[in-house]
Amino acid sequence: MLDAHFAEPSAVPNQLAAAFHDLYVPIHPNEHIAAAACRADTERVRTTGRWLVRHATDRCAATVGLALLATLGDDDDITLITTLGLLSHQFGPLAVHALERRWCGGGSDALLWLADRVTGWGRVYVVESLCKMGSSRARPWLLRRACDGDYLNRYFAGEVATAAHLHEAITALDPDSELVDHTGLLLTIMADSRGMGMTLDHYPPAPVVIAAHAEHAGRLEPTVGRFVTSAQLAGYLRQPTMQLSWPNGRREQVLDNYLSLLDREDWCAVARAGLAAGDQRITWLAEALAPELGLRAFTESSTG
């Protein structure tokens, strides 16, 4: 259909507005669409792609337009591509592919802009792209904001830890609180990523990173999120099936660090306040992990 359209000199873009509705249009980069674009005049392909992205009321036509721009678009199309990429479930893969191709012409900044605004599968596409491209500009973002707590984070948490050199960042002197908190989130996600992504058991620096997180978390003010993260990691360290190789006695020492932190009165007070307020994270923790860990914040004598 694209070959026939571009072979006709008098054909105009709006003639394609409803042309793809009954066809299978892939949302990922497709070699046949790319080949059709490369067989035609470049400027005509760009004009057609821009018109379809801006004006198509059918998502199949808009997807084809984005695929044309992903193949032959230029730097002037970055804003248009990024805007459509916000509808990430449908257009995320092609938008990310297009921005990767314009990496040195503004695509890296656009991907980071998009990364802060997409969720679900759209976030998976963008974060995996940032990990693959390996830009030093992306590393601070990957270390602090890549995970948003969504279940799909399990697909890329291990990639983030590896690509962003998490072990170097968290073992540095005085890491900022945003880095410490995101490290804790990454660790808890990887602890529960079996079947989806890299687990802590298959992340060689895990013992060093967990130990550093426990140390740095103890210097921060208590919050509900930090309490839950520390409890989850303490629960992970108690698992008899853990496959990580720890120096003799080191795992027990790090576990004691977490449990001591969770036993501090100021941390217990935050947890009790969260429970009283009905915070779902604390409610889940009180039922699922607190009895196993013997957390003082949830014992009857402490709360009643």
Residue 219 CA to chain centroid, in angstroms? 27
Q: Cβ distance 70 to 98 under 8 Å?
A: yes
Average pLDDT over the chain, rounded to whole?
Answer: 94
More confident residue, 104 or 118: 118
Sign of the torsion angle spanned by Cα atoms 242, 247, 249, 254: negative
Q: Cβ distance 61 to 16 under 8 Å?
A: yes
CA distance 116 to 37: 31
pLDDT attached to residue 243: 79
* Over residues 26-47, mean pLDDT: 97
Look up residue 144 and give its two tokens.
Answer: 């602090």
Look up residue 139 and give its two tokens.
Answer: 């590393």
| Residue 150: pLDDT band with limits 50, 70, 90 | very high
pLDDT attached to residue 300: 57
Q: Cβ distance 73 to 85 under 8 Å?
A: no
| Residue 303: pLDDT band with limits 50, 70, 90 | very low
* Over residues 192-196, mean pLDDT: 91
Prediction pTM value = 0.92
CA distance 130 to 163: 9
Share of the chain above pLDDT 70, in %: 98
Is a pLDDT exceeding 80 seen at residue 165? yes
Q: Under DSSP, is residue 274 helix (H, G, I), strand (E, B) or coil?
A: helix
Mind listing the pLDDT tens digit for each residue in 47-105? 999 999 999 999 999 999 999 999 999 999 999 999 999 999 899 999 999 999 998 88
Q: Under DSSP, is residue 265 helix (H, G, I), strand (E, B) or coil?
A: helix
pLDDT attached to residue 105: 81
Is a pLDDT exceeding 80 seen at residue 158? yes
Q: Cβ distance 130 to 111 under 8 Å?
A: yes
Q: For the ranges 4-8, 121-125, 132-136, 287-291, which has the lowest average pLDDT?
A: 132-136
pLDDT attached to residue 77: 96
CA distance 168 to 140: 12
Look up residue 53 and give its two tokens.
Answer: 């992205």
| Residue 250: pLDDT band with limits 50, 70, 90 | very high
Question: Hey, what amino acid is at 52?
Answer: L
Beta-carbon contacts of 238 under 8 Å, excluding residues fewer than 6 positions away, are: 255, 292, 293
Closest CA to 218 of 208, 234, 236, 230: 230
* Over residues 158-169, mean pLDDT: 97
Q: Cβ distance 91 to 27 under 8 Å?
A: yes
Is a pLDDT exceeding 70 seen at residue 33? yes
Q: State the burial class of residue 273 (Cβ atoms within 10 Å of its Cβ: 0-12, 13-18, 19+).
A: middle
Q: Cβ distance 225 to 183 under 8 Å?
A: no
Mind listing the pLDDT tens digit for each residue in 223-243? 999 999 999 999 999 988 777
pLDDT attached to residue 302: 47
Look up residue 134 and give its two tokens.
Answer: 């390996």
